[in-house]
């Protein structure tokens, strides 16, 4: 009985630290209020005739005096310039590496990936000591002129059947690896004790494999302790496009819309959303949640602008540590879902919410054709996740 009592107290303590983080000394007031609704609780504002609170209330059609509760957003802005990567850039940046032709005519795609230590801002005034991947061929690295560590790591994209070579250099001060969710040899699995195993600080190793199967995949560090190496930021999306020449008829036409070298695919607005969370006080529970790492990155201040005549395709990957599942819900619309992206036809049709365990992933296809212009929310449908950062908006243009 005594043992059970102690265990219950421990659980209560951890739970309290998680939910009280943004209410206590975890950061300065300017930085810690990630939620507008929370800031109103901490710093009550009088409702005067010309106050912001009054104007916000007056803007509501029903003039409800309680309508100011729970606004979605942050106080302040994350410094994306200092971070050297911007979640809006990550959203649409596909890193194709370097494509070469072998003597036998086959195609070889190469990347250089570097692991580094880097502190970055995940919410206004809240910094996280990350371990990150970077690539010289990512948009962020090209923009600043040197390799930028980013979270999530670069979205590696290739085509089914290509030979892949990934030169990995560990510039961190901990052993790291890269484990790819794909089909490959045991020696290329990137796990301790198998093949090359850990890549120690200062070492370089080349992972080599054929690109298969097509789909929406991921990569991450598999060094131990695994939960820390993933949670600290060593992960990214890994997309293998289908090769239309391997298919016939309707399947070939569908494959063209999923292959970045074809105009049918270029007509689709494609995005990458890696769902993640951050344990800022290292108690084994997340205090901040996001898509592409920055809390409320796609909120009302910077929504994702989309054209109604374009099909929207989201490569959705869950790399949230310390929580059993994550999810995506799109407001006022329904979508088709391709589990793991390994099929040319939807595995779920006409749904508005999908759940993923860690490392599960898939492709979401949604259309806003003939929809009223305006802001359409999307978020994780665990309410706490949404309130702590995993919430954004599509802005449908007229």
DSSP structure string for 313-369: EEEEEE--SSSSEEEEEETT--EEEEETT--SS-SEEEESEEEEETT-EEEEEE--T
Q: What is the pLDDT of residue 45?
A: 36
Which residues fall within 8 angstroms of residue 391, CB to CB, at 6 or more apart?
72, 296, 299, 377, 378, 379, 380
Q: Six-digit token pair at 30?
A: 């300017």
Q: What is the pLDDT of residues 243-261, one digit of tens each?
A: 999 999 999 999 999 999 9
| C-beta atoms surrounding 30 within 10 Å | 11
Q: How confident is the model at residue 69 (pLDDT cuts 50, 70, 90)?
A: low
Q: How confident is the model at residue 75 (pLDDT cuts 50, 70, 90)?
A: confident
**Does the pLDDT of residue 67 top 90, yes or no?**
no
Q: How confident is the model at residue 73 (pLDDT cuts 50, 70, 90)?
A: confident
**How far is residue 342 from each of residues 70, 144, 151, 214, 240, measured CA to CA in Å?**
39, 35, 25, 6, 9
Q: What is the pLDDT of residue 16?
A: 43
Q: How far apart are the first and last CA of the chain?
A: 64
Q: What is the pLDDT of residue 243?
A: 98
Q: What is the mean pLDDT of residues 2-17?
A: 39
Q: What's the chain's average pLDDT?
A: 87
| C-beta atoms surrounding 332 within 10 Å | 14
Q: In the chain, what percentage of residues exceed pLDDT 90?
A: 80
- For the chain, the structural domain boundaries read 2-58, 80-398
Q: Six-digit token pair at 219?
A: 């990569």
Q: What is the pLDDT of residues 317-368, one digit of tens each?
A: 999 999 999 999 999 999 999 999 999 999 999 999 999 999 999 999 999 9
Q: How confident is the model at residue 7 (pLDDT cuts 50, 70, 90)?
A: very low
Q: In the chain, what percentage of residues exceed pLDDT 70?
A: 82
Q: How confident is the model at residue 14 (pLDDT cuts 50, 70, 90)?
A: very low
Q: What is the pLDDT of residues 189-220, one digit of tens each?
A: 999 999 999 999 999 999 999 999 999 999 99
Q: What is the pLDDT of residue 175?
A: 98
Q: What is the mean pLDDT of residues 38-47?
A: 33
**Does the pLDDT of residue 83 top 60, yes or no?**
yes
CA distance 174 to 309: 48
Which parts of the chain fold into alpha helices (H)? 2-20, 29-32, 36-42, 52-58, 80-83, 87-92, 139-144, 226-231, 249-257, 263-266, 383-387
**Does the pLDDT of residue 316 top 80, yes or no?**
yes
Is there a cis peptide before residue 155, judged by omega within 30 degrees of 0?
A: no
Q: How confident is the model at residue 221 (pLDDT cuts 50, 70, 90)?
A: very high
Superfamily of domain 80-398: Cupredoxins -  blue copper proteins (2.60.40.420)
Q: What is the mean pLDDT of residues 35-58?
A: 36
DSSP-assigned states of every residue in 240-263: EE--GGG--HHHHHHHHHT-TTSH
Q: Which residue has the tokens 């979401």?
A: 364
Helix (H, G, I), strand (E, B) or coil at 386: helix
Q: What is the mean pLDDT of residues 166-175?
A: 98
């Amino acid at each position: 009985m005594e043992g059970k009592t102690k265990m219950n107290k421990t659980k209560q303590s951890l739970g309290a630290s998680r939910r009280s983080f943004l209410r206590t000394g975890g950061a300065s007031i300017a930085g810690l209020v990630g939620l507008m609704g929370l800031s109103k609780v901490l710093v009550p504002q009088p409702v005067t005739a010309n106050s912001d609170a009054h104007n916000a209330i007056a803007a509501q059609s029903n003039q409800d005096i309680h309508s100011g509760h729970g606004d979605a957003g942050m106080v302040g802005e994350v410094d994306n310039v200092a971070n050297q990567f911007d979640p809006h850039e990550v959203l649409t940046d596909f890193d194709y590496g370097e494509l070469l032709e072998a003597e036998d005519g086959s195609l070889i795609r190469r990347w250089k990936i570097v692991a580094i230590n880097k502190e970055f801002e995940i919410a206004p005034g809240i910094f996280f000591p990350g371990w990150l991947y970077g690539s010289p061929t990512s948009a962020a690295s090209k923009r600043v002129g040197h390799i930028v560590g980013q979270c999530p790591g670069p979205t590696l994209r290739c085509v089914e059947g290509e030979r892949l070579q990934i030169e990995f250099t560990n510039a961190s001060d901990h052993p790291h690896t890269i484990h790819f969710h794909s089909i490959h040899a045991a020696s290329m699995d990137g796990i301790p004790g198998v093949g090359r195993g850990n890549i120690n600080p200062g070492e370089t190793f080349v992972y080599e494999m054929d690109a298969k199967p097509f789909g929406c995949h991921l990569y991450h560090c598999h060094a131990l302790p695994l939960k820390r190496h993933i949670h600290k930021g060593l992960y990214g999306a890994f997309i293998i496009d289908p090769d239309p020449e391997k298919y016939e008829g309707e399947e070939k036409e569908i494959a063209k819309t999923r292959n970045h070298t074809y105009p049918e695919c270029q007509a689709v607005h494609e995005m990458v959303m890696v769902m993640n969370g951050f344990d800022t006080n290292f108690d084994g529970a997340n205090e901040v949640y996001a898509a592409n790492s920055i809390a409320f990155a796609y909120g009302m201040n910077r929504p994702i602008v989309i054209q109604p005549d374009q099909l929207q395709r989201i490569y959705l990957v869950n790399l949230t540590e310390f929580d059993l599942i994550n999810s995506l819900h799109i407001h006022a619309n329904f979508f088709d879902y391709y589990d793991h992206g390994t099929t040319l036809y939807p595995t779920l049709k006409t749904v508005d919410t999908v759940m993923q365990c860690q490392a599960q992933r898939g492709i979401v296809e949604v259309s806003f054709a003939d929809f009223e212009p305006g802001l359409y929310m999307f978020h994780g449908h665990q309410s706490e996740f949404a309130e702590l950062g995993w919430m954004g908006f599509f802005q449908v243009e007229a």
